[in-house]
């Protein structure tokens, strides 16, 4: 993945470094890092700048005015940066050194409770890169709608770093119309837990991940229904796939 062609993605490097991304955004940026040597190098350099800063500090609340004055222009430029042309390497380096300068200036301002939290989060994300994922269970989904006998799916229950996820993949499902969505349910003792919705491509392929709690793990069955929209808390449409 070229930085010049995906500079809007590359511009999120500082947010990734600070741990200001959702789990889904982190996974997407991990994939970007694997294809972007420039981002990997700048992430390494940011880490070196961070490690060079003093870690023993008094934890004081950073004044809102200072946050706005120091971080505001940089983050505003980052949020609005959607160039329609390749960004010159010099400009990208400027953004990196501006980010490093922000770190140094904040250290010097002695208002660092939030930076301590950022450091802990960024270290956690880095550690998670090296944690192996383990497949605990695997489930096959079979079609329940006679009109789509070729539909199928797989579900994996995975564990990584003390958390668990259901990872679902489908194929051969009918294309959706309008606001329609496929909805995933875990069934236990006749009760249904909503695990979210997904859409499919032209080949009926769909993907969904759901963070599952320990108490939700002992379900009886998995079902997928075709719903009129994604806002339902109970099944309203027909079942198309299930265990």
pLDDT at 98 over 80: no
Predicted confidence at residue 3, as pLDDT, reads 41
Q: Packing angle between helix 23-35 and helix 37-52, nearest 10 degrees?
A: 110
Task: Give the contacts of 215 (CB within 8 A, at least 6 positions apart).
Answer: none
Predicted confidence at residue 209, as pLDDT, reads 93
Measured CA to CA, the distance from residue 127 to residue 145 in angstroms comes to 44
Predicted confidence at residue 89, as pLDDT, reads 43
More confident residue, 109 or 32: 32
Measured CA to CA, the distance from residue 170 to residue 140 in angstroms comes to 10
pLDDT at 170 over 80: yes
CB 142, CB 171: distance < 8 Å: no
Predicted confidence at residue 51, as pLDDT, reads 66
Task: Give the contacts of 37 (CB within 8 A, at least 6 positions apart).
Answer: none
pLDDT at 84 over 50: no
Measured CA to CA, the distance from residue 140 to residue 156 in angstroms comes to 9
pLDDT at 183 over 60: yes
> What's the token pair of residue 105?
């200036």
**Backbone CA torsion sign across 228, 202, 145, 206:** negative
Of 49-53, 124-128, 160-164, which gets the smallest average pLDDT? 124-128
> What's the token pair of residue 201?
């491509």
Task: Name the average pLDDT for the chain.
Answer: 76
CB 124, CB 16: distance < 8 Å: no
Predicted confidence at residue 236, as pLDDT, reads 94
Q: Which fold has domain 134-242?
A: Immunoglobulin-like (2.60.40)
User: How far is CA 60 from its chain centroid?
Assistant: 30
Predicted confidence at residue 85, as pLDDT, reads 40
User: Any idea where the domains of the chain sit in the sequence?
Assistant: 4-128, 134-242
pLDDT at 38 over 50: yes
Confidence of residue 112 (pLDDT cuts 50, 70, 90): very low
Predicted confidence at residue 122, as pLDDT, reads 57
Please give the share of the chain, as a percent, with pLDDT higher than 70: 63
Predicted confidence at residue 228, as pLDDT, reads 95
CA-based radius of gyration for the chain? 23
Predicted confidence at residue 21, as pLDDT, reads 85
Q: What is the separation, in whole angstroms, between the first and last Cα of the chain?
A: 38
Whether this prediction's pTM lies above 0.75 is answered by no
pLDDT at 135 over 80: yes
pLDDT at 54 over 60: no
Widest CA span in the chain: 68
Looking at 134-217, which runs of residues are DSSP E strands?
Answer: 134-143, 152-160, 163-171, 181-188, 191-198, 206-212
CA dist 172 → 92, 139, 163, 184, 196 (Å): 43, 17, 30, 16, 19
Q: What average pLDDT does range 80-105 have in this prediction?
A: 49
Of 45-49, 72-76, 130-134, which gets the smallest average pLDDT? 72-76
User: How far is CA 80 from its chain centroid?
Assistant: 21
Predicted confidence at residue 88, as pLDDT, reads 42
More confident residue, 1 or 230: 230
């Amino acid at each position: 993945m070229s930085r010049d062609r995906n500079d809007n993605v590359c511009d999120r490097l500082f947010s990734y470094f600070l741990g200001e991304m959702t789990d889904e955004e982190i996974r997407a940026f991990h994939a970007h890092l694997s294809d972007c040597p420039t981002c990997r190098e700048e992430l390494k350099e940011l880490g070196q700048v961070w490690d060079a800063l003093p870690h023993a500090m008094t934890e004081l609340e950073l004044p809102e005015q200072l946050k706005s004055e120091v971080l505001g222009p940089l983050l505003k430029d980052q949020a609005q940066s959607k160039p329609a042309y390749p960004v010159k390497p010099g400009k990208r380096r400027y953004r990196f050194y501006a980010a490093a300068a922000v770190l140094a200036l904040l250290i010097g301002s002695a208002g660092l409770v939030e930076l301590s939290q950022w450091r802990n989060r960024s270290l956690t994300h880095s550690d998670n890169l090296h944690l192996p994922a383990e497949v605990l269970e695997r489930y096959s989904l079979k079609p329940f709608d006679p009109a789509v006998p070729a539909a199928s799916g797989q579900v994996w229950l995975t564990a990584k770093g003390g958390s668990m996820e259901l990872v679902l993949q489908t194929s051969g499902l009918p294309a959706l119309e309008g606001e329609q969505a496929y909805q995933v349910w875990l069934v236990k003792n006749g009760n249904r837990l909503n695990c979210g919705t997904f859409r499919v491509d032209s080949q009926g392929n769909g993907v969904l991940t759901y963070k599952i709690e320990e108490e939700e793990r002992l379900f009886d069955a998995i079902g997928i229904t075709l719903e009129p929209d994604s806002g339902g808390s109970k099944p309203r449409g027909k079942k198309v796939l299930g265990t």
